[in-house]
């Protein structure tokens, strides 16, 4: 029995040291990621949800289940303290004061604890030393009133110093507010600004956030900086993909996931993996895309539009792998999740992303049915996608997504034996204001199919020449 377990005699649950000091648990505690903490305790100790709820107190097993699924979170300071006490997590690991059970007993019957045993027998000198240590630890309880007053006065000064250290920061008071506005502005510019220029601007801010993370800051500021780092790295992942550099894109997607997880931001973790899944799909790695989408779903809340998008992304990966049963089952999960969204779905950083879920449920099956050889269904969904884009407010429209929808429709026409309309739609797509790597990639699919099926067609050759110059 280790010292922590000895100090916690009588507590129903004490997680073992091997779990407490594992990298996964240390990271989860540092980020106050209670979803991951609960999951680790459940899986690695074999404790049931009911056991965990009983250990924490004033909590039900259904709430434990909701936290693990991402449906609910943990916020109240008193709840966090009960979790630390229920599982035996030292206070400093959760940014709490030392817990009562961390302080060894200093009075009363100590005979049951070898550290405070009497000095009989051959180990008497060692035991006397241990008793003196115990008296020193319990100085306040054993001191005279005058000495006790001095100890209390010193403790008050130390408490003030602890507070000063906790609030000490090298960040100016408006730094985080400025950073938040800058990140939001860069995010809004994504669909309109040239990718090369925007990549440089976002990378500059990402480096600045890295420097701020290395400077002195409070725990709260640290979590906000980690979230900003996650957002910026996610933008860099998309921009690198737009510029045709999949390796850099995937590296930034992984960096976004790691920083978002340290910030305790499950939804940012989920959107980071959505980006990784897209990049892998365009690199013709459907198995990796499916794995990334599933990793994102493990972090996503159950009632968010981004969860719809991740299910649809997973469905598209199944279609790319020619798995029609997997596609149908996973796309059905996307539809079911969409139908269960609340009347006012939650936002991400104040942005309404429901419209993105609407696009996903029409544009992704259009692409999927092309890959599955069902051009009739692909044409139906592609036409619905274009109608949705045309009806959207100008400020919310994405030129690159609209171009890809035209290419999906072009491929459907080509597969249905109509090369003229396919070529016309291909030219419309390449006339987009934002021809990025994903547009060129899909346009390559179109021209490749047209060249194979309609060799020697002058109109097809003209489209291929335009794509080469794009």
The four Cα atoms 45, 48, 54, 60 give a dihedral, to 10 degrees, of 140
The four Cα atoms 55, 59, 61, 66 give a dihedral, to 10 degrees, of -120
How far is residue 448 from each of residues 26, 361, 423, 460, measured CA to CA in Å?
Answer: 51, 27, 12, 9
Predicted pLDDT at 11: 86
The three-state (H, E, C) secondary structure of 10-40, written as one string: CCCCCCCHHHHCCHHHHHHHHCCCHHHHHHH
Place of tokens 């979590």: 223
Confidence of residue 144 (pLDDT cuts 50, 70, 90): low
Are the beta carbons of 443 and 426 closer than 8 angstroms? yes
Instruction: Provide mean pLDDT across the span 198-204.
Output: 93
Predicted pLDDT at 470: 86
Least trusted range by pLDDT, from 63-72, 318-327, 342-351: 342-351
Q: Summarize pLDDT for 388-443 with one digit per residue, the tens.
A: 888 888 777 788 889 999 999 999 999 999 999 999 999 999 999 889 999 999 99
Q: Summarize pLDDT for 330-348 with one digit per residue, the tens.
A: 999 999 999 999 888 777 7
Neighbour tally for 247: CB within 10 Å: 10
């Amino acid at each position: 029995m280790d010292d922590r377990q000895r100090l916690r005699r009588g507590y129903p649950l004490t997680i073992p040291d091997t779990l407490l000091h594992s990298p996964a648990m240390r990271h989860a505690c540092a980020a106050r990621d209670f979803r991951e903490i609960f999951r680790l305790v459940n899986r690695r100790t074999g404790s049931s949800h009911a056991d965990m709820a009983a250990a924490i107190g004033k909590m039900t097993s259904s709430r434990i289940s909701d936290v693990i699924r991402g449906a609910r979170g943990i916020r109240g300071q008193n709840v966090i303290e009960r979790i630390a006490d229920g599982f035996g997590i030292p206070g400093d690991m959760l940014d709490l004061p030392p817990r009562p059970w961390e302080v060894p007993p200093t009075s009363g019957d100590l005979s049951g604890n070898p550290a405070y045993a009497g000095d009989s027998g051959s180990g008497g000198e060692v035991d006397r030393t241990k008793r003196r240590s115990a008296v020193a630890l319990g100085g306040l309880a054993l001191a005279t009133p005058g000495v006790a007053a001095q100890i209390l006065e010193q403790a008050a000064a130390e408490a003030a110093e602890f507070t000063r250290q906790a609030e000490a920061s090298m960040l100016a008071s408006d730094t985080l507010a400025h950073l938040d506005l800058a990140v939001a502005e860069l995010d809004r510019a994504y669909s309109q600004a040239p990718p090369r220029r925007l990549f440089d601007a976002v990378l500059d801010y990402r480096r600045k956030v890295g420097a701020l993370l290395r400077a002195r800051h409070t725990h709260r500021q640290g979590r906000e900086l980690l979230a900003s780092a996650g957002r910026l790295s996610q933008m860099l992942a998309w921009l690198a993909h737009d510029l045709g550099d999949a390796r850099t894109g995937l590296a930034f997607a992984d960096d976004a996931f790691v920083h978002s997880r340290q910030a305790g931001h499950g939804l940012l973790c989920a959107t980071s993996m959505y980006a990784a899944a897209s990049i892998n799909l365009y690199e013709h790695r459907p198995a990796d895309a499916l794995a990334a989408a599933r990793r994102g779903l493990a972090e996503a809340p159950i009632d968010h539009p981004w969860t719809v998008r991740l299910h649809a992304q997973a469905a598209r990966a199944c279609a790319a792998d020619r798995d029609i049963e997997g596609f149908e089952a996973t796309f059905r999960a996307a539809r079911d999740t969409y139908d269960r969204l609340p009347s006012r779905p939650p936002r991400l950083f104040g942005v309404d992303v429901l419209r993105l879920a609407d696009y996903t449920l029409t544009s992704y099956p259009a692409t999927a049915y092309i890959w599955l050889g069902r051009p009739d269904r692909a044409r139906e969904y592609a036409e619905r996608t274009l109608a949705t884009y045309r009806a959207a407010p100008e400020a919310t429209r994405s030129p690159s997504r609209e171009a890809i929808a035209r290419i999906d429709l072009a491929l459907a026409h080509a597969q249905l034996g109509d090369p003229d309309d396919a070529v016309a739609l291909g030219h419309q797509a390449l006339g987009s204001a934002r021809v990025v790597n994903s547009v060129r990639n899909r346009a390559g699919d179109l021209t490749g199919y047209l060249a194979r099926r309609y060799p020697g067609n002058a109109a097809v050759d003209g489209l291929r020449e335009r794509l080469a110059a794009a």
